[in-house]
Amino acid sequence: MSNTLLPMIPVKTWVDNSVEWITDTFEFVFDPIKNNLDSFIEFLSETLQMINPWIFIAVIAIIAFFVTGKRIGLAAFSIVGLWFILNQEMWEQLMDTFSLVITASLISVIIGVPFGIWMAKSNIVQAILTPILDFMQTMPAFVYLIPAVAFFGIGMVPGVFASVIFAVPPTVRFTNLGIRQVSTELIEAADAFGTTGIQKLFKVQLPMAKKTIMAGINQTVMLALSMVVIASMIGAEGLGKEVITALQRNDVGLGFVAGVSIVILAIVIDRFTQSLNTQKGE
């Protein structure tokens, strides 16, 4: 609809121009990031693929058994689920997706936790970051693909970039929440014994907030996983790519198998991170 009072504000042009400017100006930053990240993901994926799938499944099952407090449920599910993926010849794609998720989650945690701490220590930072985080989570995830391609071309790295933007908010939010929830009496106790800010952070606030932060990281991993299909649209390898292919060829069977594989991976990762959390907290 045209507006007679005001000409259309050229937001599109502004964004176009600024993305272009960023791409050109920071090429020297983006290129090494792309190359290093690319080789890291490739290395990770290839290493994982070198492991015999049966050994891999066995190791996962054993870890699952101990992580869940010697219960059989998650271990059994891991064996059946991963065997199904292997049986459907999706193993290579599984490892690609797994690598992408691990990389995106790691970067999210490395960025997210310090931002969460900063946010907890300052009300001003919290006031500024909260709407930005809302924006990052509400913006349709597809939109992130566009600048990602502009900065990093196509492949795994823009996929990781888009996943990180989409997945980082829960870690930031939960870190902030966890630290702010530490009872005032414990903070007073720390202060009364003469802690410095850093001592208070590492000896009291982070240990007390650990459970909450872990819950945030769990969310982050899940969001990163939910990005794999979308990231495949810009050329990220893995299970998501099979879904896209199935969509393009109208292949219901392939779509189902790839979809179920993603669900299995999601359940295993989710239960793993959750049990890690409950176990440590006692």
Distances (CA, A) of 57 to 82, 85, 211: 7, 11, 28
- The full DSSP string for 8-76 is PP-HHHHHHHHHHHHHHHTHHHHHHHHHHHHHHHHHHHHHHHHS-HHHHHHHHHHHHHHHTTS-SHHHH
Choose, by CB under 8 A, the member of 185, 250, 252, 253 that binds other proteins: 185
**Interface with other proteins includes 191 (CB under 8 A)?**
yes
Stretch that binds other proteins, among 29-37, 54-62, 115-123, 179-187 (CB under 8 A): 179-187
Range 229-248, binding other proteins (CB under 8 A): none
- Nearest-approach distance from CB 184 to other proteins, in angstroms: 9
- Nearest-approach distance from CB 201 to other proteins, in angstroms: 13
**Interface with other proteins includes 199 (CB under 8 A)?**
yes
16 vs 191, beta carbon nearer other proteins: 191
Looking only at Cα atoms, what is the longest distance across the chain?
70
**Interface with other proteins includes 188 (CB under 8 A)?**
yes
202 vs 256, beta carbon nearer other proteins: 202
Q: What tokens appear for 13 in the block?
A: 């042009």
Rounded Cα gap, residues 104 and 98, in angstroms: 10
Choose, by CB under 8 A, the member of 8, 207, 249, 279 that binds other proteins: 207
> Please, are residues 44 and 102 in contact by the beta-carbon 8 Å criterion?
yes
**Interface with other proteins includes 110 (CB under 8 A)?**
no
Choose, by CB under 8 A, the member of 203, 235, 259, 276 that binds other proteins: 203
**Interface with other proteins includes 193 (CB under 8 A)?**
yes
43 vs 193, beta carbon nearer other proteins: 193
Range 28-67, binding other proteins (CB under 8 A): none
Rounded Cα gap, residues 263 and 282, in angstroms: 29
Convert residues 127-166 into a mask of x (bound to other proteins by CB under 8 A) and - (unbound).
----------------------------------------
**Interface with other proteins includes 123 (CB under 8 A)?**
no
Choose, by CB under 8 A, the member of 189, 249, 278, 279 that binds other proteins: 189
Conformation bin of residue 122: beta by default, left when phi > 0, alpha when psi is -120 to 50: beta
CA 192 to chain centre: 39
251: three-class secondary structure by DSSP:
coil
- Nearest-approach distance from CB 182 to other proteins, in angstroms: 10
Rounded Cα gap, residues 79 and 87, in angstroms: 12
Rounded Cα gap, residues 143 and 153, in angstroms: 15
Torsion of CA 173, 220, 158, 12, to 10 degrees: -40
Would the CA dihedral through 234, 17, 224, 56 be positive or negative?
positive
**Interface with other proteins includes 279 (CB under 8 A)?**
no
Stretch that binds other proteins, among 34-42, 188-196, 233-241, 264-272 (CB under 8 A): 188-196
**What letter would DSSP give residue 68?**
T
Residues at the site binding other proteins, with contacts judged by CB under 8 A: 183, 185-186, 188-189, 191-196, 199, 203-204, 207-208, 210, 282
